[in-house]
Amino acid sequence: MIIRPAVSTDLDSVVELARSAGIGVTTLPDSREILAERLRLAERSFSARLPPEKAYYFFALESVETGSVLGVSAIQARVGLDDVWYNYRVANTVNAFKEMGIHRQTPTLYLTNDMTNCTELCTLFLNPKARSGPNGHLLSKCRMLFLAERPDLFSEKVFAEMRGYSDASGHSPFWESLGQKFFKLDFPKADYLTGLGNKGFIAELMPKNPIYLPFLSEDAQRCVAQVHDQTGPALALLKREGFNYNGLVDIFDAGPVIEAFFAPDSNSAGIG
C-alpha cells in the first residue's frame, strides 16, 4: 500500500467509496459533482495554487498490486472562514437554593463557533474489504506526518469530528429528539445537505437558546459524545496520538469533537 495525493482521475473510486460509506460520514457525500470539485481543490492545494487557509489536502490509499484506491482521508486547513461552523458545547447549568437543600446540575447544550479557524482532520474512510492489518493506521497517520512536515500551513489547534451514533437504517435518536423539531428533515437528508455544503439553513433554523438535555429523550441523551459502532477504532487511534475530547459535539448526531495542539516551540506536531 502507498499513500499519495488524491487526483481527479480517482473520481470513480472515490464515488464508489462514498456510496459504501453510508449515513453519517458527512465530509464524504454521495455526490459525484461535489467529490470532483474536492479532488480539483486538492490538486490546487498540493501544488500551492491556493491561499494556505483555503487548502484541502485529500489523500488516497492505493494498492500497489492492483492500482485501486481502497481508502481516503483529508485535512481541511481551516474551517468556518467562509461558512459559520457550529458545534454544541456540553456544559452544566447549576441551580441551588441552600435554605431548601437544593443543588442541581443540569447538562446543557450551548451553540458555539469555537472551532472557527482551526484545522480539521476529516473524510477518513476505508473500504471494508481492506480493514485488516495496518491499512487504517496508515491512512490516518499519513495526515499526522503531513502536519509535522508543514506546520506553517495549519492552525496550532487540530480537531476531528467523530461520527455520532446512528443505527443501520440511519436512525439517529439525537437528531430525531432535537434537530428534526426545527428542520423538519430526516437525518439522512440533513446529513446529505450538510455534506454538499448547504449549511446556511442551520443558522436560520437552529435554536440559539441553551438546550437542557433532560428535555430530550433518554435515547438521545445517551447518544451525546458517543461514536458510531464503526468509528471506535478511529477514535482509539487518534487518542493514542494525543487527541482528547474537548466538550464539543456535532449538532446533528452529537458525535464528540476531539482535539490536539502543535508544540509551540517545535517544527513537529505535538500529536505523535
Compute mean pLDDT per 10 residues along the chain, 272 residues long, and list them. Answer: 96 93 75 94 97 96 93 95 91 81 87 95 90 89 94 95 87 90 80 69 77 95 93 90 95 94 56 46
269: in domain:
no
266: in domain:
no
50: in domain:
yes
Which residues are annotated as catalytic? Answer: 228
Q: What is the rounded distance in angstroms from the CA atom of residue 180 to the CA atom of residue 185?
A: 6
244: in domain:
yes
Q: Which of 161, 143, 195, 152 is nearest to 23 (CA)?
A: 195
Rounded to the nearest 10 degrees, the angle between the axes of helix 135-149 and helix 232-240 is: 40
As for how many domains the chain has, the answer is 1
The predicted structure's pLDDT at residue 24? 59
Other C-beta atoms lying within 10 Å of the C-beta of residue 117? 14
Any idea what the CATH number is for the domain that residue 40 is in? 3.40.630.30
The predicted structure's pLDDT at residue 233? 87
Residue-wise pLDDT tens digits, 103-143? 788 999 999 999 999 999 999 999 988 888 899 899 999 99
The predicted structure's pLDDT at residue 263? 63
HSE value, Cβ hemisphere, 13 Å, CA-based, for 266: 11
What would the grid cell of residue 44 be? 490546487
What global pTM score does this model have? 0.89
190: in domain:
yes
Asked whether the beta carbons of 228 and 171 are under 8 A apart, the reply is: no
Q: What is the rounded distance in angstroms from the CA atom of residue 168 to the CA atom of residue 234?
A: 19
The predicted structure's pLDDT at residue 200? 63
Range of the domain at 143: 2-261
272: in domain:
no
